[in-house]
Amino acid sequence: MKKNIVCKFGGSSVEDAVQIEKVRKIVDDSPSRKYIVVSAPGREKKYNIKITDHLFNIATSGKHLRTNRKKIGTKESKDAVLNKFKSLMKDLKIPDNGLLEDLNKDLQSDLTGEKKIAFLASRGEHYNAKLIAEYFNQKEMPTEALMPEEIGLNVCDNILSAKVDSSTKENLAKIKNKKKKIIIPGYYGMTSSGDVAVLSRGGSDLTGGELAASLDASVYENWTDTDGIYEADPRLIDEADVVPRLTYKEIRLLSAKGFNVFHFDAMMNCKKQGVPINIRNTNKSSAPGTLILSERVPEEDVVGIARLDNMAFIYLEKDMLGETVGFTKDLLTIFKKYEINTYHYPTDKDDISIIVNQDDIQGKINDLRSEIEDCIEPDHMEVRYNISILSPVGLGIKDNPMVLADAATVLCEKNINIEMLDQSPAQICFHIGVQQTHADSAYKALYERLILKQN
């Protein structure tokens, strides 16, 4: 019988002594919460910058923050990191048993290039795991901090965007019967040559997902600073509520369209192993959050509406386009050449639209147009900017043809022109493009009609 719960706590959940005490109470509340993955300790106060960004800044001799127009040098970043941990230890009343000295030594690393960047970027998680384990023990909660190098969390040799190696699952399974609480730093692993490599940003989710799948956990709890996944962006829709249950398919569709709350690879690991994911709020631990499952009974048509702003589409017309074998491939190859990610490409007999984030084509659009004209020879081409893509998602859409009709009707009633309409092949999602100036009105109108069922 599955009993163990794997918990991951993000940066805002462990950013100060008050938050870390909340984490301790959550972990102590259930004996099943045995495995805890922690992020770096959020932001520091002086510059209001994430500790991981300070660590990148140190590793790049100040270049990292300069590119973000922050005039903060290497020394200032070092002081910010050391002061953050010093403050945490003081507030938590943890004696300094060499942690600050070890951290300071690591910040002076003589590594170079990408190895230095990865090593320093991982130090926030590394030392926060040690610090939190020390605090738990001080509170008479027997805990052991285990580092990736100790438990065989192996990754490929892509130092700055590593993937977890297949050997890791068997290695992590070996810690399944530990009696103490186990704290593991997120975000990094070890290459076959013994170097530290970091996962993509947000990689603590990956560590937690890998651990949950390897231990065959009963649930993977992802603790954040939100109550769960909302039906719509609560910053734009005041009455938006938390969705109690979603399938992996639904959360994937929502996350691809603006609901960026969880790392894709972490979800896939849990999905393959049948481990539910529970998104919960560290600051409201009694709230049930959102449970992500392999399947659920669809109790509604639309479960959520995602929104992507700042989009554009390149529209092409050419006779016989839809009957030319390889046309779409040739067109998308041009976008790949210019490293432009494409979101949708609705097509018909003689035309096609390629939808992109307009920031991705900034500075490239003239060259892109020239190459399309040379290689594809369209009869007509135009670029439409400042588009918002609104995407209702829900298992119930597939069996209710009125949902799409209702969406079109309510936008017509509001005199909002539809620039684009496309339904996903799975028929549990469709995408409506409107001018960004009308996006707020369209978003609220769709929410009221499709979720609140207001006429």
Residue 78 is assigned to a structural domain of this protein:
yes
What is the pLDDT confidence band of residue 1, given thresholds at 50, 70 and 90?
very low
- pLDDT, tens digit (0-9, with 9 covering 90-100), for 98-142: 999 999 999 999 999 999 999 999 999 999 999 999 999 999 999
Do 190 and 328 lie in a common domain?
Answer: no
Do 289 and 308 lie in a common domain?
Answer: no
Do 85 and 117 lie in a common domain?
Answer: yes
pLDDT the model gives residue 256: 61
pLDDT the model gives residue 431: 93
Select from 293, 323, 354 the last residue of a domain: 293
Do 308 and 186 lie in a common domain?
Answer: no
Residue 195 is assigned to a structural domain of this protein:
yes
Do 283 and 318 lie in a common domain?
Answer: no
Select from 247, 267, 293 the last residue of a domain: 293
Do 288 and 319 lie in a common domain?
Answer: no
pLDDT the model gives residue 261: 62
State the CATH number of the domain containing residue 154: 3.40.1160.10
Do 179 and 327 lie in a common domain?
Answer: no
pLDDT the model gives residue 247: 92
Residue 299 is assigned to a structural domain of this protein:
no
Task: Find the domain containing 232 and state its range.
Answer: 5-293
Do 334 and 190 lie in a common domain?
Answer: no
State the CATH number of the domain containing residue 398: 3.30.2130.10
Residue 201 is assigned to a structural domain of this protein:
yes
pLDDT the model gives residue 264: 65
Q: Give CA–CA dist 357/364, Å, rounded.
A: 12
pTM of the shown model: 0.88
pLDDT the model gives residue 405: 94
Do 199 and 336 lie in a common domain?
Answer: no
pLDDT the model gives residue 260: 61
Do 270 and 320 lie in a common domain?
Answer: no
Residue 105 is assigned to a structural domain of this protein:
yes
- Number of domains within the chain: 2
- pLDDT, tens digit (0-9, with 9 covering 90-100), for 186-233: 999 999 999 999 998 777 888 999 999 999 999 999 999 989 989 998
The full 3-state SS of the chain, as one line of letters, equals CCCCEEEEECHHHHCCHHHHHHHHHHHHCCCCEEEEEECCCCECCCCCCEHHHHHHHHHCCCHHHHCCCCCCCHHHHHHHHHHHHHHHHHHCCCCCCCHHHHHHHHHCCCCCHHHHHHHHHCHHHHHHHHHHHHHHHHCCCCEEECCHHHHCCEECCCCCCCCECCHHHHHHHCCCCCCCEEEEECCEEECCCCCEEECCCCCHHHHHHHHHHHCCCCEEEEEECCCCCECCCCCCCCCCCECCEEEHHHHHHHHCCCCCCCCHHHHHHHHHHCCCEEEEEHHHCCCCCEEEECCCCCCCCCCEEEEEEEEEEEEEECCCHHHCCCHHHHHHHHHHHCCCCEEECCECCCEEEEEEEHHHHCCCHHHHHHHHHHHCCCCEEEEEEEEEEEEEECHHHHHCCHHHHHHHHHHHHCCCCCCEEEECCCCCEEEEEEEHHHHHHHHHHHHHHHHCCCC
- pLDDT, tens digit (0-9, with 9 covering 90-100), for 252-307: 888 765 566 666 667 788 888 889 999 999 999 999 999 999 888 888 899 999 99
Do 328 and 400 lie in a common domain?
Answer: yes
Do 261 and 395 lie in a common domain?
Answer: no
Select from 254, 273, 293 the last residue of a domain: 293
Looking at the DSSP assignment, which residues form a beta bridge with residue 291? 245, 278
Average confidence (pLDDT) over 351-357: 91
pLDDT the model gives residue 282: 97
Residue 298 is assigned to a structural domain of this protein:
no
pLDDT the model gives residue 435: 96
